[in-house]
Amino acid sequence: MKAIVTVTGKDTTGIIAKVCTLLAEEDVNILDISQTVMQQYFTMTMLVDLENSKKSVTELSEALEALGKTMGLVIRTQREDIFDLMYRV
C-alpha cells in the first residue's frame, strides 16, 4: 500500500534525516520526496510504500505524529487512494 506523508513546521536542522530514519526503521520505502523552505517554514511531501512494513498505515501515522510533536512539527499520513479521492477534480 502507498501513502502520502506531509510534514510542516518551522525549519530546523535534521527534519528530513529524522523522518527518513523512522521510515527506514519501519521498512517503509520512499518513492518520491519534495521539500521546500519558505522563509522560516519547512514543508515536505513524500510518497511512500508500506508493502514491506510490519506496521499498518494507522500505526505508522501515530509514530510519525509522535515524532512530529517532539520536533514541533505537524506530520500527517494518508493512504494514497484516499488522498487521490479527496483531491480529484
Looking at residues 51-55, what average pLDDT do you find?
95
Looking at residues 22-43, what average pLDDT do you find?
96
Query: Within 13 Å and on the Cβ side, how many CA atoms surround 52?
Result: 9
Given a contact cutoff of 8 angstroms between Cβ atoms, the answer to whether 83 and 47 are in contact is no
CATH architecture group of domain 2-86: 2-Layer Sandwich (3.30)
Give the pLDDT band of residue 12 (cuts 50, 70, 90): very high
Whole-number Å distance between alpha carbons of 9 and 47 = 19
Q: pLDDT by residue (tens digit) across 68-86?
A: 999 999 999 997 666 655 6
Report which DSSP code applies to 54: S
Report whether pLDDT(60) > 70: yes
Query: Considering the entire predicted model, what is its pTM?
Result: 0.87
* pLDDT computed for residue 30 by the predictor: 97
Give the pLDDT band of residue 24 (cuts 50, 70, 90): very high
Residue extents of the structural domains in the chain: 2-86
